[in-house]
Structure 1
Amino acid sequence: GLALGYRSGDHGDIIQMDFVDSYQNLTIKTLMIMNWVATFCPNASHAMKVDADIFVNVYLLVEVLRGYPTKGFITGSVIRDGRPRRDPKSRWYVSEEAYPDSYFPPYVSGAGYVFSTDVARKVSLASRSVPMVPLEDVYVGLCLRAAGVSPVYAQSFLALRNLFEVRHLAYDRCAFAARVIVNGFKPAELLSIWEDFSVNRLTC
């Protein structure tokens, strides 16, 4: 929001935490989000974690939320074959000391995912005993495994299409109308897309 000149005083809805906001600290940020949701939103049915460069189709999101379980549920683009990168030069490097196994448990892509709010508490509690890794979406997956929660792949049943699109797609109103998220946009692009989408999506 800050890139658009948005101020906390406008709506009182920006939460600031005391840590360096870096890629390596995304795990800390996500745990703080989970803890905040568990503490202050216990009566909400669902919450969503989404990156800043993501288009969110709020209309479809609200529609699909009606069919989602309200307990023990997390959905998004599920990665089932994730493996730790052992090259120290890799942005996604994880040492054998930090994570000795050859595969990660199933986890949802950190680009955007939806969860029932009880999952936030489960992840927060599990994080006390699960060793930290710097990959925030993988770490949430480790906490989910410890908490006995299995992530569910968000798929449209009419067309076998992932509702949480973690690839970047060029803007197409009707293609975006069929997805909850699409990845990889600059702030100005999001404003431009929303201007068209919010008015013209019903023509699809």
Structure 2
Amino acid sequence: MDGKRKFFQSCFLKVLLVTFLWLLLLSYFSEKKSWLYNLILKYWGHKQVAEPPLLNITTQRPLKYDPHSQHGPFDIAYPYNYAYVLNEPYKCVARTPFLVLMVPVAPHNREARDIIRQTWGNESLIAGVAIVRIFALGLPSGDRAPQIQAELKKESQEHHDIIQKDFLDSYRNLTIKTMAILDWLVSYCPGASYAMKIDTDTFLNVDNLVNKLLDPHAPHPKQDYITGVVIVNGEARRDTGSKWYMPFEVYPKSTYPLYVSGIGYVFSLDLAKKVLKVSKYVKPLFLEDVYVGMCLEKLDIKPTYPPSASLFNLYSFPYDYCRFSKIITVTDIPIMELVKFWKDFQVPGHLCEGKE
């Protein structure tokens, strides 16, 4: 009898153990952790981290993405905690910048980075105004990737202005790059007043930008502020040959919410944190400026129109000092042309009286 009792006790304990493990696994993989899982965590000493409430999304759950489970060319692995490969965590420690220039760039494009360092990206360009320059990029690809990465490491050690995360650098991943930019600002430069995300093929009149931001007669807000070329009723392109083709199944609406063109936009630093948080609840699109607009819509924040429509320009036009002196950005500028324009732009004594 003792042998049978021990056998049944052993079987009972095994069934109990299997049941307990099954419940534990079930609670772990459930979308919302159960009381059992939380109870075990409590006794193991771990803490539950709750997502902070954020405006009108408190009843929603964060989106979950696996960076290794992309199935199509329009799937974006974000939100995801990409790791830094190269970083500049102390860039804003010695001084609190008024303006941070965040420049997305391809890993192989050393020429563009060097030219921007010499022209509008010069951190010492305006006396008495602290400006910080950061180039943001992902991982290189192709046969030359190891060589490019080694060169990037040397360049980073020389200039201390490169941040790189471990996602593949590509056009489809521009949204990830933009979120990486916002993440760096929030993590390492939260005291800055303004930041500007600006493309490499752009002429930036830094003096005019800073003067507009500091203008006491037309003060710019330091909260919930973003400006540039504001796009109203932007059309979702359905033609497959378009660079901006958007499949209906990815974005079913015919128009996008209000957004600011990604060619170059200026924003207050508080907005970086807000967009970063709300992005956990907004399904990402590869069109990074549209995606930022979708996050702003979720936050119920509207972009600010610039004081003049001619300040930020979506299209290129021939260089003319007088005209360029009145704008903030002109896009689609070949990088070597930028050097020529900039040299002339720095020459004093141009006469613009009576010219538009």
- The answer to whether the 8 A contact 1:94-1:134 is kept is no
Aligned AA for 1:53?
D
Task: Tell me the SS of whatever aligns to 2:301.
Answer: coil
What TM-score, normalized to structure 1? 0.92
Does 118-127 or 95-104 show the bigger shift?
95-104
What TM-score, normalized to structure 2? 0.54
Partner of 1:163: 311
Deviations 1:69-102 (A, max 9, x none): 1110000000002011122332111122211112
Task: Tell me the SS of whatever aligns to 2:241.
Answer: coil
Unaligned runs of 5+ in 1: none
Larger radius of gyration: 2
What is the distance in 1 between the residues matched to 2:338 and 2:260? 23
Aligned AA for 2:288?
E
- The answer to whether the 8 A contact 2:321-2:350 is kept is no
Partner of 2:35: none
Does 125-134 or 10-19 show the bigger shift?
10-19
Unaligned runs of 5+ in 2: 1-108, 115-154
Shift of the alpha carbon at 1:190?
1.1
- The answer to whether the 8 A contact 2:262-2:288 is kept is yes
Shift of the alpha carbon at 1:195?
0.9
What is the distance in 2 between the residues matched to 1:104 and 1:200? 44
Partner of 2:160: 12
Shift of the alpha carbon at 1:152?
1.2
- The equivalent position to 1:121 in structure 2, one of 251, 273, 296, is 273
* Aligned counterparts, 1:88-99, within 5 A: 88-99=240-251
- The answer to whether the 8 A contact 2:112-2:200 is kept is no
Shift of the alpha carbon at 1:60?
0.1
- The equivalent position to 2:324 in structure 1, one of 155, 176, 186, is 176
What is the distance in 1 between the residues matched to 2:202 and 2:327? 12
Counterparts in 2 of 1:129 and 1:78: CA distance versus 1, 3 Å:
same
Partner of 1:82: 234
Deviations 1:11-46 (A, max 9, x none): 201112222221111111111111111211211110
Give the structure, 1 or 2, with the largest relative contact order (CA under 8 Å, sep 6 or more).
1
Partner of 1:140: 292
What is the distance in 1 between the residues matched to 2:202 and 2:112? 15
What is the distance in 2 between the residues matched to 1:73 and 1:191? 31
Partner of 1:189: 337
What is the distance in 1 between the residues matched to 2:351 and 2:191? 35
Shift of the alpha carbon at 1:202?
5.7
Aligned residues: 200
- The equivalent position to 1:2 in structure 2, one of 76, 101, 110, is 110
- The equivalent position to 1:37 in structure 2, one of 182, 185, 199, is 185
- The equivalent position to 1:27 in structure 2, one of 149, 152, 175, is 175
Percent identity over the alignment is 47
- The equivalent position to 1:104 in structure 2, one of 239, 244, 256, is 256
Deviations 1:134-163 (A, max 9, x none): 11110110011111211112133xxxx421
What is the distance in 1 between the residues matched to 2:199 and 2:112? 15
Shift of the alpha carbon at 1:5?
6.9
- The answer to whether the 8 A contact 1:57-1:176 is kept is yes
- The answer to whether the 8 A contact 1:174-1:201 is kept is no
- The equivalent position to 1:149 in structure 2, one of 301, 307, 311, is 301
Counterparts in 2 of 1:137 and 1:170: CA distance versus 1, 3 Å:
same
- The answer to whether the 8 A contact 1:55-1:183 is kept is yes
